[in-house]
Amino acid sequence: MTVGVWILGDQLWQNQAALNRTDDKSSLPIILIESWQHVQQRRYHQQKLVLIWSAMRHFAKELRGGGWQVTYTKSEDFEAPLKAWIQAHNITEVRVMAPNDRLFLQLVQNLQLPCKTTIIPNNQFLWTETEFKDWASSRKRLLMEDFYRTSRQRFQVLMDSSNKPVGGKWNFDKDNRQPPKGKLDTPKPLWFEPDVITQEVIAQVKSLSFPTYGKIELFRWGVTREQAMQVLDNFIEQCLPAFGPYQDAMVTGEETMWHSLTSPYLNIGLLHPLEVIQAAETAYLEKNLNLNGVEGFIRQILGWREYIRGMYFYVDADYFENNWFNHTQPLPEFFWDASKTDMNCLRQVLTQVEGSGYAHHIQRLMILSNFGLIAGISPQELEKWFHSAFVDAYDWVMQTNVLGMGLFADGGVLASKPYAASANYINKMSDYCRGCKFDRTVRSGENACPFNFFYWDFLARHRDKLQSIGRMSFILANLDKMPPAELATIRQKAAEWHLVS
Ligand code: FAD
Ligand code: SF4
């Protein structure tokens, strides 16, 4: 019997479950495949293609250097090179670690290969699908906060000797939502100059004949495990000490603030979530860092990331179709070309995404998806756009974040209320409104900010549905106080905006 291992582009980790079962490296055939068909499914960000293909090529090189027997192929599809490889090595069993995305799992299961295919459970997350399902099915409510507390106890992170949370509280977010005021002394993110391998991939991506998105010129992402570790070290040294207070703040020209930039690496296996969490906890203990920032950061990974992925496999397979508000407006063209909008907040964030494939959490949630929600854009169209536009986007992280958290398209399976906000919030948490041609204080008159008239239109449009959500009652009471004539003008403006854009 000859076993061969197929490594997928988001499984670039030497300890991954399909690889770590053998010590005899030289006799284990390994294959990695770049498929053209696969990347034509969406209009991917050019930097995403460079990141994945360059990281795959570097990983293949690293494996070869470690004595593994690696085949690296570029091909139209996956099946043809797999068949050729199976034949060349007389392989009787292909092992592949379970893909994180449902559709890719189906693709693997439907391949017509001349030997057995074994899918090995994925070990790139802390909770397995079964463990998450066991947790979820035993509960009446599926709150992230409950899951996070269980995770803290299960992995003994930030817990004291009596199994209580250190600092006496589970959550310090109250100290973490400061607006940006005055000149902020932001840390420098760690970027990398493309090496020869990356330059080759850049040239390859530039020559592609199918539609892609974004700009490739400023590709600066790390593409190896070593570089990902440097990014983590840089975050722990430079950013974590002040991560908490300005976690939600947005400032023109400050694309990364104190954020870790670890998602592109975590999501392809160059970093493992537990090592990132442990690095933060160790820094807290050894450097006496503020607990609010460290706890806030650890919650993102031990809480949100694991929860989002667990929920992806827990919800029904047709979750993607959810559209609780029946939103059907087409995605505005400016999502693909930032220069086509005059809304400064959207233009700033979309320009940034074009240039790097990255935006931080509040930019994604409170600018991009908030606009989609209140303007009534089709959740499916916006989800597809997010999946194309971000370097860290994958089906497992996209569906529950965009449809559930961002757009409330699942009617509240994930979020306890819609994240809908007017210009008030954007002006409080950013400096974007200062450079905008719209007036953030106006909701119905000339030059009214679209975030304002869409916000009130959204509330009025869905009043009946929103009434069933307890946390919306205060806001709906404000809607009821609005003079009917003003509400009519607002709703007219919202309708006209869609007609002209
Ligand atoms: P930091 O702020 O430094 O946070 C640390 C880590 O926490 C992140 O690297 C990430 O791994 C994890 N994390 C935090 N929140 C989440 C979350 N909600 N879901 C999953 N992981 C989380 N994350 C992605 O990895 N890929 C995506 O395509 C993606 N799309 C998103 C779309 C929307 C509409 C929203 C609201 C969130 C999305 N997120 C996504 C989650 C989050 O915004 C990003 O993980 C984060 O901004 C990545 O930047 P960072 O590494 O600097 O994060
Ligand atoms: Fe965005 Fe409105 Fe502020 Fe302009 S005024 S930046 S459109 S929120």
The alpha carbon of 314 and the centre of ligand 1 are apart by a number of angstroms equal to: 19
User: Quick one: which atom of ligand 2 is closest to the CA of 427?
Assistant: 3
From the CB of 70, is ligand 2 less than 6 Å away?
no
C-alpha span between 373 and 356 (Å, rounded): 24
Whether the predicted pLDDT of 497 surpasses 70 = yes
Structure tokens that stand for 169 in this block = 């509280």
Q: How many angstroms does the Cα of residue 131 sit away from the middle of ligand 1?
A: 22
pLDDT recorded at residue 470: 84
| Ligand 2 contacts CB of residue 289 (under 6 A) | no
* CATH code, domain carrying 82: 3.40.50.620
Cβ neighbours for 249, distance < 8 A, ≥ 6 positions apart? 178, 179, 180, 184, 257, 362, 429, 430
- Could you identify the atom of ligand 2 that is nearest to the CA of residue 452? 2
91 and 176 both lie in a single domain? no
Check if 432 has its Cβ closer than 6 Å to any atom of ligand 2. Answer: yes
Query: Residues near 9 by Cβ (< 8 Å), separated by ≥ 6?
Result: 32, 34, 52, 53, 55, 56, 268
Of 372, 442, 443, 438, residue with least CA distance to 408: 372
Q: How many domains in the chain? A: 3
Task: Please list the residues that pair with 254 across neighbouring strands.
Answer: 251
Closest CA to ligand 1's atom 11: 263
Answer whether 363 contacts ligand 2 (Cβ < 6 A). no
Residues 6+ apart with CB under 8 A from 394: 10, 100, 101, 267, 387
Closest atom of ligand 1 relative to the 266 alpha carbon = 11
The CATH number of the domain holding residue 423 is 1.10.579.10
Provide the token pair at 458: 């959204």
- State the closest ligand 2 atom to the C-alpha of 346, by its place in the atom list counted from 1: 1
Q: Indicate if 110 and 133 belong to the same structural domain.
A: no
Closest to 280 in 3D by CA, of 334, 248, 319, 233: 233
Span 279-304, average pLDDT: 96
CA–CA dist 273, 27 (Å, integer):
30
* Atom 5, ligand 2: residue with shortest CA distance: 440
107 and 234 both lie in a single domain = no
In the predicted structure, residue 442 carries a pLDDT above the cut 70: yes
Tell me whether strands 116-120 and 69-75 are parallel, antiparallel or unpaired: unpaired
Is 301 near ligand 1, meaning CB less than 6 Å away? yes
Residue 420, pLDDT > 90, answer yes
pLDDT at position 181, please? 87
Residue 431 C-alpha to ligand 2 middle, in angstroms? 10
Cα–ligand 1 centroid distance for 19 (angstroms): 27
Q: Are residues 472 and 359 in the same domain?
A: yes
Answer yes or no: are the C-beta atoms of 61 and 406 closer than 8 Å: no
Query: CA 114 to CA 225: how far, in whole Å?
Result: 34
The residue whose CA has the least distance to atom 20 of ligand 1 is 305
Stretch 40-45: mean pLDDT: 95
66 and 140 assigned to the same domain? no
Query: pLDDT of 138-179, one tens digit each?
Result: 898 899 999 999 999 999 999 999 999 999 999 998 888 899
Q: Residues 294, 169: one domain?
A: yes
392 with 286, same domain: the answer is no
Nearest-atom number in ligand 2 for the CA of 435 is 6
Least confident piece of the model among 99-103, 195-199, 219-223, 351-355: 99-103
Ligand 2 mean position, distance from CA 275 (Å): 39
Ligand 1 centroid to Cα of residue 360, in Å, is: 7
**With bands split at pLDDT 50, 70 and 90, how would you rate the model's confidence at 376?**
very high
pLDDT at 4: 96
d(CA 193, CA 114): 43
Report the nearest atom of ligand 1 relative to the CA of 360. Answer: 47
pLDDT at 412 over 90: yes
Answer yes or no: do 297 and 342 share one domain.
no
Q: Is 485 helix (H, G, I), strand (E, B) or coil?
A: helix
Query: Which residues lie closer than 8 Å to 74 by C-beta, 6 or more apart?
Result: 33, 34, 36
Residues 236 and 350 in one domain: no
> Is the pLDDT at 301 greater than 90, yes or no?
yes
User: What is the spatial distance between Cα 489 and Cα 453, in angstroms, rounded to a whole number?
Assistant: 9
Q: Are residues 64 and 188 in the same domain?
A: no
Beta partners for residue 71, in sequence order: 31
Same domain, 115 and 137: no
Residues 276 and 260 in one domain: yes
pLDDT (mean) for 327-354: 98
Average pLDDT, the chain: 96
| pLDDT tens figures, 387-409 | 999 999 999 999 999 999 999 99
pLDDT given for residue 42 in this prediction: 95
Which residues share a beta bridge with 69? 29
3-state secondary structure of 265: helix
Q: Is position 202 within any domain?
A: no
Written in H, E and C, the secondary structure of 335-391 is: HCCHHHCCCHHHHHHHHHHHHHCCCCHHHHHHHHHHHHHHCCECHHHHHHHHHHHCC
Q: Which residues are bridge partners to 120 per DSSP?
A: 97
pLDDT of residue 23: 67
**pLDDT reported for residue 183:** 85
| H or E stretch at 6 | strand 3-6
Whole-number pLDDT of residue 102: 94
For residue 435, pLDDT beyond 90: no
Would you say the CB of residue 267 lies under 6 angstroms from ligand 1?
yes
- From 290, 314, 338, give the residue that closes a domain: 314
Q: 172-176, 248-252, 431-435: which has the minimum mean pLDDT?
A: 172-176
pLDDT over 70 at 468, yes or no? yes
Q: Give 361 Cα–ligand 1 centroid separation in angstroms.
A: 6
State the pLDDT at residue 173. 86
Which residue minimizes the CA distance to atom 27 of ligand 1? 393
The reply to whether 204 falls in a domain is no
Q: Which residues pair with 377 in a beta bridge?
A: 329
Domain coverage including residue 41: 3-120
| Inside any domain, residue 437 | yes
The secondary structure of residue 401, as a DSSP letter, is I
The reply to whether ligand 1 has any atom less than 6 angstroms from the CB of 125 is: no
DSSP string, 30-62: EEEEEEHHHHTTTT-BHHHHHHHHHHHHHHHHH
